[in-house]
Amino acid sequence: MHPAASTVTTAGSGLDRIAAVFAAARASGHRVLAPFVTAGDPDVATSVAVIEAADRAGASLCELGVPYSDPIADGPVIQASYTRALGAGLTLEDVFVVAREAASRVRMPLLAMASYAIIFRRGVVRFVTDARAAGLAGLVVPDLPLEEADELDAACRDAGLALVRLVTPTTPAARAEAIARASTGFLYCVSVAGVTGARSELPDGLAERVRWLATKTTVPILVGFGIAAPDQVRAVGAVADGAIVGSALVRRVADAIGQPREALLDSVGRFVGDLAAATR
């Protein structure tokens, strides 16, 4: 297991558990690796096993994608995973089952990435209460504007959960500064304009943007969207506290569907292990 994750336990609030991950990473001179896994893709049990495989391979945090029929920022790979999960009958209750089962088996904190429409439909306080009961450490809500986030922010703070905010390349400076100040747990720096998806190289200006954001917030910064290979994780780690890897991992799960589960988990473990090595 990655040393940065090895000191993390499920004790304490979600915010405390996330802070412990970054503190351990800083102490060891490492960066944080946060893979993204779609809940229920291709089924509940396999998605739990994928999270376990990522944890064993050295991941520090995990984003759990909550499938939604009309995703806002997700590219074709993650959209396809959502379609598979929903087509198999996945419900929000099943998502909480995935979270609960995984949280009980791994040391890394889990955060749900969910559309605000899902949270609003369930009821903000009820969703947050259920998220905490399922062992989640925080929420990432990419389609929730800063001006409309007060209710969810208050509920998350009351529950000790992180509410991670996103800053994109097109976010105006004053607004980016306000978002950075409001984010808890960490700040999600979107590397490119557009939707998620693996890319061959990181965009120009990313390092400067991360350095600027670091002067506007006291929480760590993770970079996501387009991070697909160890060399990109290493490059991101030169300026940020770590990297989020989504589509590249989800694609490996998709490519292995139909194979024995052991083969799928081996593919995931080897890929995450290579990415984790680049954080050291």
| Cβ neighbourhood burial of 160 (10 Å; 0-12, 13-18, 19+) | middle
Antiparallel, parallel or unpaired: β 162-167 and 138-140: parallel
Contacts of 66 (CB under 8 A, 6+ apart): 39, 92, 95, 112, 113, 114, 115, 118
Tokens of 75: 């590219």
How far apart CA 151 and CA 22 sit, in angstroms, is 27
Tokens of 6: 């090895």
Tokens of 126: 């009820």
Neighbours of 11 (CB within 10 A): 8
User: Is 55 in contact with 253 (CB distance < 8 Å)?
Assistant: no
How far apart CA 232 and CA 29 sit, in angstroms, is 18
How far apart CA 193 and CA 172 sit, in angstroms, is 13
Active-site positions read 63, 74
64 in helix, strand or coil? strand
Which residue's entry shows tokens 């429409």?
117
19: nearest Cα among 27, 227, 198, 123:
27
* Residue burial 69-94, b: 16+ Cβ < 10 Å; e: rest: eebebbbebbbbbbebbeeeebebeb
